[in-house]
Amino acid sequence: MNTALHTIDVHGYPISYQDNGPRDAPVVVLMSGWCHDHRLFDQLVPHLERDLRVLCVDWRGHGADRSPVPDFGYPEQASDTLAVLDSLGVERFLPLSHSHGGWANLEIADRAGPDRVPRVLLADWLMTPTTPAFAAGLAAIQDPQRWREGRQGLYDVWLNGRRDERVQRHLDVEMSGFGFEMWARSCRVIAAAYAKFGSPLDRMAAMPRHRPITHLYSQPTEPAYEKAQANFRAGHPWFDYRVLGGPTHFPTLDSPELVAAEIRAGVRSP
């Protein structure tokens, strides 16, 4: 795996990205959630780069330059990512996002259209409306007195009582490398997106041009959560989901072979 991190100026901000694999191969674009970076995919990329071009694009303020940036949200994340792809001459691509990077992923799909983005992959994104517990966690992380406590609450949910060394490092070092400002911003944006759309399922249903979308997830594990997706699929045949059965909220780290297989299936599909 080529770990070189490139940085270009996009809309006045330095945006970092990794570019691995053959330049003439089908393109896969990997996008993290908030308060992560390209390292979320360091276990996945080696399963793909032999015959796919794999781009990992960091959000503004998330890459090599961590200088403070003014407020932004998923529309800016989408604009920045598309600008990187345009600068590299990338036309058709398969995007995969983790968690709440999905808001930007769907925005990218809408803007680029089905010819350029013929299908979408989403990894471990909360598909249903926010629960009171999740809403309380988002609020806590926006409080400068309680944000670390709120963040730890998310970490505990994501680990689900399991111990995975690579995931633990991702939490303790990589995600915890972001401070209050970015964590609070992320929660404001996420809460506002749920308030606007209702849920990711509702957001997908409202897309002006549909294409195949597959959700790959391990959490939550409750049967009602899968049932909600099965019910949505019954009325929206372009949607599908896969229960990966991994130990944590981070399938690209704890189940990379399974995620890679789904990506390859997506690339092979017409």
Which among 178, 188, 158 is positioned nearest to 254, based on CA atoms?
A: 158
Would you tell me how many other CB atoms lie within 10 Å of the CB of residue 237? 9
Tokens (6 digits) for 77:
């994340």
Distance, in Å, from the CA atom of 80 to the CA atom of 55, rounded to the nearest integer, reads 14
Q: What are the residues facing 16 on neighbouring strands?
A: 7
Residue 151 contacts residue 184 (beta carbons within 8 Å): no
User: Which phi and psi (to 5°) does residue 92 adopt?
Assistant: -75, 135
DSSP symbols for 108-129: HHHHHHHHH---EEEES---SP
Query: Which residue among 38, 98, 170, 249 is the active-site one?
Result: 249
- Is 249 tagged catalytic? yes
For 146, the enclosing helix (H) or strand (E) is none
Supply 24's token pair: 């003439």
Q: What is the CB-side half-sphere exposure of residue 201 using CA atoms within 13 A?
A: 21
| Beta-carbon count within 10 A of 234 CB | 9
Q: For residues 184 and 142, give the distance between their C-alpha atoms in angstroms, rounded to a whole number.
A: 4
Whether 67 and 236 have beta carbons less than 8 Å apart is answered as no
Q: Single out the residue of 83, 56, 62 nearest to residue 2, CA to CA.
A: 56
Residues with active-site annotation: 249
